[in-house]
Amino acid sequence: NAGVMQNPRHLVRRRGQEARLRCSPMKGHSHVYWYRQLPEEGLKFMVYLQKENIIDESGMPKERFSAEFPKEGPSILRIQQVVRGDSAAYFCASSPGPQEGYTFGSGTRLTVV
Amino acid sequence: GNSVTQMEGPVTLSEEAFLTINCTYTATGYPSLFWYVQYPGEGLQLLLKATKADDKGSNKGFEATYRKETTSFHLEKGSVQVSDSAVYFCALSESTGANNLFFGTGTRLTVIP
């Protein structure tokens, strides 16, 4: 049973480009959570999704960031018109239910040049 | 608000040395406390947890005691091994669900033979 798969592991984008980060949850998990770790800071919650629904997006920046978890396929975190301050490690976690044990992926490290 | 303050790293120890990684927290209620570990190239894994005051979480030789009076949850291990080299994150949650985790900045531990 594969764990939470995130790709790419490393992503380099120029300022103004779009970044797409993918997260495939563990088999049987229908809840996905995205976290961001800025340099020298702890992981901070961004968004919580269930299949086709956003449950909690209280940690998402108001502009340029969006997330989806379609019925089929991975969850996608999309950052439009990236800026240097978006450089961070983005972690995804998944769980079988809203209050059940969750498993983290190994993260995507985004570098904006 | 909720926050976690974690001992800054990196920490370098010789094999069989004693490990302490300090963690203190601020919370409005009665949180659960966690230690996560991230081995190189892998996702965060739950190492241990404690859900109420004076509880001791333990796993793989690591221990941490929930101290309400000092708002602390320090991680300890009596004799570290090279395989313990990883990044350790302290976290708290005031309710269940992975969208309610607050993390510290992480402490990188390197154990040398």
- Residue B7 has a pLDDT of 83
> pLDDT grade, residue A42 (50/70/90)?
confident
Residue B19: CB partners within 8 Å, gap ≥ 6?
B11, B13, B75, B76, B77, B80, B84, B109
Q: Are B101 and B4 in contact (CB under 8 A)?
A: no
C-alpha–C-alpha distance, residues B88 and B38, integer Å: 6
- Residue B90 has a pLDDT of 95
Stretch A13-26: mean pLDDT, rounded? 97
Residue A72: CB partners within 8 Å, gap ≥ 6?
none
- Residue A41 has a pLDDT of 82
- Residues in chain B with CB shorter than 8 Å from the CB of A42 are 4, 6, 89, 91, 102-106
pLDDT digits (tens, 9 = 90+) for A46-94: 999 999 899 999 999 999 999 999 999 999 999 999 999 999 999 999 9
Residue A2 has pLDDT above 80, yes or no: no
- Residue A99 has a pLDDT of 67
Nearest CA in chain B to A9: B41
| Partner-chain contact B99 A106, CB within 8 Å | no
C-alpha–C-alpha distance, residues B63 and B97, integer Å: 23
Largest CA distance in chain B: 42
Mean of pLDDT over chain A: 92
- Residue B30 has a pLDDT of 83
Residue A73: CB partners within 8 Å, gap ≥ 6?
none
- Residue A111 has a pLDDT of 97
What are the residues of chain B with a beta carbon less than 8 Å away from any beta carbon of chain A?
4, 6, 36, 38, 41-46, 89, 91, 96-106
Return the number of other C-beta atoms located less than 10 Å from residue A19's C-beta. Answer: 22
Count of positions (residues) in chain A: 113
Closest partner CB to B99 (pick from A6, A33, A103)? A33
pLDDT digits (tens, 9 = 90+) for B67-112: 999 999 999 999 999 999 999 999 998 876 666 788 999 999 999 9
> pLDDT grade, residue A100 (50/70/90)?
low
Nearest chain A Cα distance for residue B104, angstroms = 5
pLDDT digits (tens, 9 = 90+) for B32-68: 999 999 998 888 889 999 999 999 999 999 999 999 9
Stretch A1-12: mean pLDDT, rounded? 89
What are the residues of chain A with a beta carbon less than 8 Å away from any beta carbon of chain B?
3-4, 6, 31, 33, 35, 37, 40-45, 48, 55-56, 91, 93, 95, 98-99, 101-107
- Residue B54 has a pLDDT of 95
Residue A1 has pLDDT above 60, yes or no: no
C-alpha–C-alpha distance, residues B84 and B17, integer Å: 12
Residue B69: CB partners within 8 Å, gap ≥ 6?
none
Tokens in use for A51? 């299949």
Indicate the SS3 state at residue B80.
coil
Which residue, among A5, A32, A102, would best test binding to B if mutated, counting the most B CBs under 10 Å from its CB? A102
CA A28 vs. chain centroid, Å, equals: 18
- Residues in chain A with CB shorter than 8 Å from the CB of B99 are 33, 45, 48, 55-56
CA–CA distances in Å: residue B110 to residues A43, B9, B80: 21, 10, 10
